Amino acid sequence: NDTLYVFGGRNESTFFKDGFKVKDGETTPTVLKDLPLELYGASGFVYDGNGYVAGGFISSGIPNKTIYKYNVSSNTWSIVGYLKTGKGFMGTYVSASEAVYFFGGALSSDSSTQTDEIECFDFLTNKTSVLDITLNSAKESVKVALYGSALYIIGGYNVNDGYSDG
Q: Give the model confidence (pLDDT) of 20-70 as tens digits.
A: 889 898 889 988 888 889 999 999 999 999 999 999 999 889 999 999 999
Please give the pLDDT value at position 166. 65
3-state SS, residue 118: strand
Q: How far apart are CA 25 and CA 38, in angstroms?
A: 29
Mean pLDDT for the stretch of residues 66-80:
95
Q: Does an H or E element contain 70, and which?
A: strand 66-71
Half-sphere exposure of 148 (CA within 13 A, CB side): 1
Q: How far apart are CA 25 and CA 21, in angstroms?
A: 12
Please give the pLDDT value at position 16. 85
Q: How far apart are CA 106 and CA 87, in angstroms?
A: 5
Residue 165 predicted with pLDDT over 80: no
| Helix locations, the chain, DSSP H | none
Of residues 9 and 66, more confidently modeled: 66
Q: What is the pTM of this model?
A: 0.91
CB-CB contact of 69 with 51 (8 Å) = yes
